[in-house]
Structure 1
Amino acid sequence: MGVDIKIEHLTKSFGKQLIWGDVSLTVPAGEICVMLGPSGTGKSVLLKTLIGLLKPDEGSVIIEGTDLVSCSEKDLYEIRKLFGVLFQDGAMFGSMNLYDNVAFPLREHTKKSESQIRDIVMEKMDLVGLIGAEDKLPGEISGGMRKRAGLARALVLDPEIVLFDEPDSGLDPVRTAFLNQLIVDLNAQIDATFLIVTHDINTSRTVPDNIGLLYHKHLAMFGPREMLLSSEEPVVRQFLNAQRVGPIGMSEEKDADQLAAEKDMDLPPLPPIPLQLEPSNGIPRRSQRPPGEWCRTNGVTPPPGSFLPDSVLAGGVKA
């Protein structure tokens, strides 16, 4: 079972440059959450702040009753053991083979014997589909395999929280689809709390239980997947549906003239909300909600065609 992360009034600046301010949200225990935002909005900075690599100017990050911002270095060291982190490029040690890369946290943080370490390492490598590649060096494998090796290392201490920093970065759509399925399957198996930073819209629309959007130095919205995918909030609608019409421009914000020119333009209809990706065994995850539950509970009419299988939509059947 994962643990929740309570983020309260978090503010971070670098010098005079405000990255984001007054960010408050709770990442629910055991659920998959995605954090989105245009480039440069501080998504990776948020992840580094959550594990104590960066200190915020204000606010709190509370995990199991401990505030990571104000706690002692000793307490921070212990809390970090709850985390596993998949970095953008895998962050593998180039001179170590994959086995030793995955074993490194066990050798560093535990007193387990080498036979115990081998059992754990091989279990995690099997989870991510890397059995048979343990003797390869990071430079001898593809980017997708490095990501999976990095994920095995992130899981090796059985973390309660797993952070993913753009796991789809540098991967083609097919490998991204395989990685998305792997993330869902892992969440079903280990029931940990997952927080994913990504730019991939398909990932955001199909994988998480909850979505957050950082924009213009604040948290624009955070909540259940269906809430954001049915939202008419301009920046949320524009980003999650990859549209040009809206407040986001080539920089971060469009100027007043651009927005005025778009004022009377007809927005394209919201696309259907897809079914959420299920574990490969077909058994729903503990945190997975029935399709359309949030919309029904909150009296929201989803876009036509929502929650239909891809095969039905491809055949032209409409809701």
Structure 2
Amino acid sequence: MGVEIKIEHLTKSFGKSLIWKDVSLTVPAGEICVMLGPSGTGKSVLLKTIIGLLKPDEGKVIIEGVDIASCPEKELYEIRKLFGVLFQDGAMFGSMNLYDNVAFPLREHTKKSESEIRNIVMEKMDLVGLLGAEDKLPGEISGGMRKRAGLARALVLDPEIVLFDEPDSGLDPVRTSFLNQLIIDLNAQIDATFLIVTHDINTARTVPDNIGLLYHKHLAMFGPREMLLSSEEPVVRQFLNAQRVGPIGMSEEKDADELEAEKDQELPPLPPIPLQQEPSSGIPRKSQRPPGQWCAENGVTPPPGSFAPNMSMAPGA
């Protein structure tokens, strides 16, 4: 079972440049969460702070009762063993074949025998659909295969938290769809806590249990998928429905003149909330909520056509 990530009043700057301020949220144990935001809003910085690669200026990141923002290096080293990370480009060692790339964390951090390592590596490569490709070099395979190899390596230490830094980056829509299904299936099998940074709106609308949105140096909203997909909050509505009308512009924020010109424009209706993607087995994940449950519990009427099977996303213009 995954573990909870509790973030309290987190602030991070680089020199005089404020990245985000007073960010607080709880990533529930065993659930899939997506973090969105316009480019440059510090999504990847947040992942690096969560794993302790960057220190925040203020605030806490509490995992298993330990604040990794202030704990001793030795304790941080032990906490990091709970993590697996899929980097944007897979971060493969170009001179090693896929087998040795996946085996690397086991050889570095455990005292397992080579026969034990082989069993684990082959199991994880089978899990991501790469059996038979273990002798290939990273330069000999497609970007999608490198992502899956990176995911196999992230899983070899049986992590309780898996961080995904833009897993869809550089992938076409078909391979992104396959990767999304793999993420769903893995969560169903290992019950780890997943946190995904992405720009892909279809992924955000169909994959996670919870969604967060970073905007203008703060966390605009974080909560259950249905809460954000039915939200009338301008920045959340605009981003999650890929609309032009709203506070986000080409350079992140629109100026006062642009917003004034838009104020009388009629917003397109919210698109229907799609069904959440299910595991290939058809058996719901432990953290998966019945369609419409959050809306019903909170007295929210979802957009017409929500939770219909086989629907595709059709965001407003």
TM above 0.5, yes or no, is: yes
Post-superposition Cα deviations, 1:111-151, rounded to whole Å, max 9, x if no partner, equal 00000000000000000000000000000000000000000
Three-state SS of the structure 2 residue aligned to 1:291 is coil
Take 2:101 and 2:198, find their aligned partners in 1: how far apart are those partners? 24
Corresponding residue number in structure 1 for 2:248: 248
Q: Give the count of matched residue pairs.
A: 314
Take 1:188 and 1:311, find their aligned partners in 2: how far apart are those partners? 23
**CA RMSD between the two structures:** 1.0
Take 1:310 and 1:268, find their aligned partners in 2: how far apart are those partners? 22
User: Within the alignment, does 1:154 sit opposite 2:133 as a pair?
Assistant: no
Q: How far does residue 312 in structure 1 lie from its aligned partner after superposition? A: 9.7
Take 1:69 and 1:143, find their aligned partners in 2: how far apart are those partners? 33
**CA, structure 1 residues 27+266, in 2 after alignment: closer, same or farther (shift >3 Å)?**
same
**CA, structure 1 residues 8+313, in 2 after alignment: closer, same or farther (shift >3 Å)?**
closer
4+ aligned runs moved over 3 Å, structure 1: 311-314
Three-state SS of the structure 2 residue aligned to 1:295 is helix
After TM superposition, the structure 1 = structure 2 runs for residues 167-316 of structure 1, keeping only pairs within 5 Å, are 167-310=167-310
Post-superposition Cα deviations, 1:245-268, rounded to whole Å, max 9, x if no partner, equal 000000010000000000000000
Q: How far does residue 311 in structure 1 lie from its aligned partner after superposition? A: 5.6
Take 1:26 and 1:311, find their aligned partners in 2: how far apart are those partners? 31
Equivalent AA in structure 2 for residue 72 of structure 1: P
Take 2:156 and 2:270, find their aligned partners in 1: how far apart are those partners? 41
Could you tell me which runs of 5 or more consecutive residues in structure 2 were left unpaired when the two chains were aligned: none
After TM superposition, the structure 1 = structure 2 runs for residues 95-174 of structure 1, keeping only pairs within 5 Å, are 95-174=95-174
Does the 8 A contact of 1:122 with 1:131 survive in 2?
yes
Post-superposition Cα deviations, 1:282-315, rounded to whole Å, max 9, x if no partner, equal 000000000000000000000000000126999x
Take 1:51 and 1:65, find their aligned partners in 2: how far apart are those partners? 15
Equivalent AA in structure 2 for residue 307 of structure 1: F
Instruction: Please give the TM-score of this superposition, normalised by the length of structure 2.
Output: 0.98
Does the 8 A contact of 2:271 with 2:313 survive in 1?
no
Post-superposition Cα deviations, 1:158-197, rounded to whole Å, max 9, x if no partner, equal 0000000000000000000000000000000000000000
Post-superposition Cα deviations, 1:25-60, rounded to whole Å, max 9, x if no partner, equal 000000000000000000000000001100000000
Identical counterparts, % of pairs: 90
Post-superposition Cα deviations, 1:189-222, rounded to whole Å, max 9, x if no partner, equal 0000000000000000000000000000000000
Does the 8 A contact of 2:274 with 2:311 survive in 1?
no
Does the 8 A contact of 1:305 with 1:313 survive in 2?
no
Three-state SS of the structure 1 residue aligned to 2:252 is coil
Equivalent AA in structure 1 for residue 230 of structure 2: S
Equivalent AA in structure 1 for residue 69 of structure 2: V
**CA, structure 1 residues 313+86, in 2 after alignment: closer, same or farther (shift >3 Å)?**
closer
Corresponding residue number in structure 2 for 1:86: 86
Instruction: Please give the TM-score of this superposition, normalised by the length of structure 1.
Output: 0.98
Equivalent AA in structure 2 for residue 204 of structure 1: A
Corresponding residue number in structure 1 for 2:65: 65
Equivalent AA in structure 1 for residue 205 of structure 2: R
Take 1:182 and 1:70, find their aligned partners in 2: how far apart are those partners? 35
Take 2:89 and 2:292, find their aligned partners in 1: how far apart are those partners? 36
Equivalent AA in structure 2 for residue 265 of structure 1: Q
Could you tell me which runs of 5 or more consecutive residues in structure 1 were left unpaired when the two chains were aligned: 315-319
Equivalent AA in structure 2 for residue 112 of structure 1: K
Take 2:256 and 2:51, find their aligned partners in 1: how far apart are those partners? 38
